[in-house]
Amino acid sequence: MEPEMKVECSYYDDTYYGNKKVYVCRFYKQTIPENTTIIPDGTHKSASRGNEHVDCALFADCKLTKVPQGLTRIFPNLKVLYIQYSGLTTITKSDLAEYKNLERIYINLTSIKFLPGDLFDGFKNLEAIGFNDNKLELIEPNILDGLDNLKHVNFEDNPNYTKCYSQFKDCSPNATLEEVKDELMVKFCKEFPKTTKDLLKVKEENKNLKGKNAELNAEVKNLKDAVDDVNGKVRNLEDQVDDVNAQNQKLQSEIHKLKKSDIKNFLTDETFKDFQIQIGDHNFPVHKFLIAARSPTLAELLKNNPGVENLKLIDIPVGIFEVILKYFYTDELPGGDGMNFFHLFAAAGKLKIEELKNFAAENLLQQLDKDNALEIFKLSNKYRHDDMKKISFNRIKQNHPKINFNDELIDDFEKVVKMIEIFMKIEEMEKSIESLMMN
């Protein structure tokens, strides 16, 4: 276990880090032996500040022979490491092993002559690298590989390499990132022939991957175009239903003239039942005028088929129709125990029994979760229930936060399903591309 050492430090705010105010722990003119775990010895700026607030560790004019160790255990949210005017002559991958979550590393005004290609392996968040004003003579060409978030790379004022790429306003870059990478490969290919050969191979593979990516993007575009073609195909039949409502009003007024107690007796009285409804192998004797008055859908079917003596209904379970039939005669709403409200809502929607449909919707919304939101949204679109549609649509958006559903999609179930399928396919494609690029 490495020995620990208290090192004098000071704390203050600074704004050099990407024009953001950062909280800095500064070590100034300290001697820190190699293979020593340092413990900062200083007082925070205020009682409200602690080690967890430190963004940057700055070593200025310190005597160092190795990058200081143990800082990330003390400053868990450290983002920046800044070393200048030190005695560093070498730096290796193991020296930076604990700093892989950093966003910026600046090591300036040292005597480092060589940078190995694996120095930043595994640094997924690194945005800025600064090695200006060192003694750099050799840089392994693959040093920037895998650093996809780079916004700043500075090798200025070194003996053998002086390129700078930057997106920062306070810098004056002299190259693009691609130019920096290309020149590293060209300049140091003789010193590192194997690395250069591997880089050229990777570059060719990346070119091929870009071509494949373009093909995948074209396929994605075709899929998105296919989604757009679905719009408008569902609504054509909905307008044909509205005419039935007016024709049903007369029958509704007749049925309401009768006392509820009298109608209730008709449920078990077979004397005047003059019609049959068939569901599968079950026959239900009913009063023709009553079912026509209670259901606009049945009224329309009877109007269009005046001579028939029975009517076959499909896609309605027998148990659900028994509930509906009891409601026709008694106005009684079913209990919740064991009731399949998906089937009840669909049947009430198909037969246009509004009170029963609303009752089923209230119970479905109490059961709404991430697993059934899409099915409830589908039913609410098909049978036009606005409240249930809004609530289930919002739940779908919560289930798929990466998909940008606009408000117009609330009336288009098919398009919502297609978008989910497409984005899942896109996500699979992106994973495939990432896998190809990593191998």
User: What residue ranges do the domains of the chain occupy?
Assistant: 4-192, 235-438
Residue 424: pLDDT over 80: yes
Q: Residue 224 — very low, low, confident or very high, per pLDDT cuts 50/70/90?
A: confident
Least confident of 221-235, 241-255, 277-291: 241-255
> In whole angstroms, what is the distance from residue 297 CA to residue 332 CA?
20
Q: For the chain, what is the mean pLDDT?
A: 85
Distances (CA, A) of 425 to 220, 226, 415, 421: 9, 14, 15, 6
Residue 28: pLDDT over 80: yes
Instruction: List, for residues 135-156, the tens digit of each pLDDT value.
Output: 999 999 889 999 999 999 999 9
The DSSP annotation for 376-422 comes to HHHHHHHTT-HHHHHHHHHHHHHH-TTS---GGGGG-HHHHHHHHHH
Mean pLDDT (whole number) for 30-52: 94
Closest CA to 26 of 71, 92, 76: 71
Residue 250: pLDDT over 80: no
Strand partners, 285: 276
Instruction: List, for residues 320-336, the tens digit of each pLDDT value.
Output: 999 998 888 888 888 76
User: What is the pLDDT at residue 390?
Assistant: 92
CATH topology of domain 235-438: Potassium Channel Kv1.1; Chain A (3.30.710)
- Prediction pTM value: 0.47
Sign for the CA dihedral angle at 362, 372, 234, 303 comes to negative
CB within 8 A of 182, min separation 6: which ones?
Answer: none
User: What is the pLDDT at residue 202?
Assistant: 57
Q: Residue 309 — very low, low, confident or very high, per pLDDT cuts 50/70/90?
A: confident
Least confident of 37-41, 98-102, 154-158, 195-199: 195-199
Distances (CA, A) of 404 to 190, 394, 398, 400: 51, 12, 11, 9
CB within 8 A of 265, min separation 6: which ones?
Answer: none
Residue bearing the bigger pLDDT, 424 or 350: 350
Decide if 126 contacts 102 (C-beta within 8 A).
Answer: yes
Instruction: List, for residues 117-139, the tens digit of each pLDDT value.
Output: 999 999 999 999 999 999 999 99
Domain 4-192 classification at class level: alpha beta
Least confident of 91-95, 199-203, 399-403: 199-203
Decide if 79 contacts 126 (C-beta within 8 A).
Answer: no
Rg, C-alpha atoms of the chain? 37
Q: Residue 218 — very low, low, confident or very high, per pLDDT cuts 50/70/90?
A: confident
Decide if 49 contacts 34 (C-beta within 8 A).
Answer: no
> In whole angstroms, what is the distance from residue 236 CA to residue 222 CA?
25
